[in-house]
Amino acid sequence: MKTKNVVITVVAVVLVLVGAYFAGRTLSKPAVDSSQETSTKAAAQQSSASSSSAASTSSSSTSADADQLDYNTITPMQTAAAIMYYAKDKLSDQNDWHSIYNANGIDLFQSNNTEHLSDPGRGVCWSLHPSNMAGGDTPTYTVGADGTVSYYHVTTVNQNKDKDPLLTVNLHDIINYVNSHHAVSDIKAKAQDIHATIDNQ
């Protein structure tokens, strides 16, 4: 009987000690720092916002690049339209160059008759003419191997006389001018309104 009481006492003591041990661990466990948790959430939200902003910026940049003329990909008709657009502002005192851009329908004649031009470019010149007109002034230009564009004023009277360009400018600068004036869509639309004819005589 005495032994039984001792066993019961020992078991009771062990249970109390075990209970106290686990209770102590629970009470001593550090509480979650609410400020740290808030900071972590804020950092995660900021990172997500930064990623979204970067993606948006990248998308906008790609869109902007798509709306730019490029020297390596510009088409012949876009080149003619860009050259006319530049002359509209830079040769405003030359009525033929100033007005040709606004013509409804433009014929573009390509010719190798450049002997009378002081800067024959690559031996080819392009003449612009409103589709609904015949004769008169003909804005003419050449483009050199280095991209130099030379603007000429040609008429039926002086067409075979030696002449100097009214203006020379690099095609790179013309393209930059168009891009900086946000006129790319206008240039592409105008290019659709130009009809090319080749005259090798």
* pLDDT under 50: residue ranges of the chain: 30-32, 58-64, 201
Distances (CA, A) of 14 to 5, 27, 120: 14, 20, 109
In the numeric block, the tokens 């910026």 are attached to 57
pLDDT of residue 67: 85
pLDDT of residue 60: 45
pLDDT of residue 33: 53
**Do residues 118 and 163 make contact, with C-beta atoms less than 8 angstroms apart?**
yes
pLDDT of residue 61: 44
**Which residues are CB-contacts of 40 (< 8 A; sequence separation ≥ 6)?**
none
Report helix, strand and coil shares of the chain as percent, to nearest 5: 50, 20, 30
DSSP, collapsed to helix, strand or coil, labels residue 129 as: strand
> Which tens digit of pLDDT belongs to each residue from 161-171?
668 999 999 99
- Structural domains of the chain sorted by starting position, each given as residue range(s) with its CATH number in brackets: 2-66 (no CATH), 76-199 (3.30.1460.60)
Q: Running DSSP on this structure, what letter comes out for residue 179?
A: H
pLDDT of residue 62: 43
pLDDT of residue 133: 74
**Do residues 171 and 79 make contact, with C-beta atoms less than 8 angstroms apart?**
yes
